[in-house]
Every structure is written in structure tokens, then in C-alpha cells.
Amino acid sequence: MKVKVLVAAHKNYQMPTDKLYLPVFVGKELHPDVNQTFQGDNTGDNISEKNPTYNELTAIYWGWKNLSDLDAMGLVHYRRYLSLNHHKNLNDVLSTEQVNQLLQSNDIILPPKRRYYIESNESHYLHAHHHEPFEVMERVIKDDYPEYYPSFKKVMKRTWAHMFNMFIMKRQPLDEYCTWMFDVLAKVEAQTDISDYSVYEQRVYGFLSELLLDVWLDQHPEYQTVEVKYVFMEHTNWLVKGGNFIKRKITGHA
């Protein structure tokens, strides 16, 4: 199979040597001089200029629209990778051979479920972000994709989700998912005013998209999925992370 896994990056960073991986500089249209080595997300059919609000989705859109000869495509982040052994080593991330083996009997490779235990996906999102875009997204799905609405309600009540917009998908599910997901987000974007949001909160469409993957998957049980471990390449300060979680619970803000 011909497979590429895009590595979304917004700065210079060490990358895996396996040819499976294609580093993509996101928001290249806005920062043309920052990196001259990685593939930019601003060639061909692209939404590179939307990177401040769409995050890594600009890489997914670029790959979906411009790498049409692939049998499968995926996305990881420059600090987050899929791995079978969970070692913080770029030589131990998911390899070409491993991906091809996994895709022999599966259509989609996912990271492990992220579990919140005491919060639902909906409450977790609303404690951390503005409510209006979420409410608009729910309305868009209910009105324009009513067949997805039961899955939306089901997924929002769960206490786990596949996060970070990380996946590897065969071409057919990729086409179907991206067509649906980008259409939903475009309609939400057209109906929301984020001009007074902070720079962080203006990344809203990227945040919302993390909730859409499991909605789409629930609606499409015909596709076989498999989870593999994920590894964060840098040190995680769990005291700071836990403190921010508690702060969101109390104040509604990070």
C-alpha cells in the first residue's frame, strides 16, 4: 500500500527517518519564511490561511486534497506519534511495515481512547471553551445531518474520546470523513463570530473537530478500527496539567 503519515509542525523539529512520514509545516501561507525544509500546507487546494482557527486540520485538508494517489493517509504531531511500544524514541514510532500490517485487517488506525472518568465529552469541552460554537455545531448536525444526531448525543455523553485529530485511514473512509467533517466545520464557521476570542480560543474549529471523529466513527461501524499506543516525545508536567484541569472545573477557564 502507498501510505503517508503527515507530521503537523509549526516550527523546526527533528523528524522520523522512515519515509512513511511527511513533515508538513502548518500555516505556511502565513509564515512563508519560517521553514524551508518541510512541505508547506499552502500548495494546490489548501486552507493554509485558516491555520490559526483550524490548527492541524490545514495539514489534513492539504493531504486529503493533494495526495490523491495514496491508498491511506494519516496525521500525527511533531511531538505526538503512534507507537506499538510507547518508547520516547523517533526510531520506535509506527513504521511502514507495521502500518501496512495493521491495515491488512483494519481500515482505520487510532490512538488509545483518552478517558475523562468524571466528565463527559460535552462537559469537558464546555468547561474549557466558549459554549456558542459547540451549540452551533450541535444545531448544524441536527439540522443538516440528522442521521448523525443520535451518534452525536451518544458520543457527547461518553467519558472517553479519540483525541488530537490523530489517525491513519484508508482512502475511502478518509474521503468520506473529511467531506463530512470539513462541511460541518464550514457551516459552524459561517454561523459563529470569534473576533473577540483570545488567540488560544480562536483555535475553536480545531478543538471542535476532535469531537467529530468519534461521531463519524459511531455512524460508520462498517469500518474496522484498531487502537495503538501513542507517545508524547517531551516531558509532561502533570502538576501543571492537573492544576489546569481543576481550574477549568472551578472557573470554566484554563
Q: How would residue 202 be classed by pLDDT, with cut points 50, 70 and 90? A: very high
- pTM score, whole prediction: 0.93
Q: How would residue 241 be classed by pLDDT, with cut points 50, 70 and 90? A: very low
Q: Please tell me the distance from the alpha carbon of residue 11 to that of residue 219, in angstroms, as a whole number.
A: 36
CB 63 within 8 A of CB 98: no
**Segments forming the whole domain that contains residue 66:** 3-251
For residue range 49-99, list pLDDT tens digits in order. 999 999 999 999 999 999 999 999 999 999 999 999 988 999 999 999 999
Of 98, 101, 105, nearest in space to 16 by CA: 98
CATH code for the domain in which residue 204 is found: 3.90.550
- For position 86, what pLDDT does the model report? 83
Of 121, 112, 135, nearest in space to 215 by CA: 121
Question: How many structural domains are present in the chain?
Answer: 1
Q: How would residue 251 be classed by pLDDT, with cut points 50, 70 and 90? A: low
**Lowest mean per-residue pLDDT among 3-17, 121-135, 212-226, 239-253:** 239-253
Only one residue has cell 523539529, namely 13
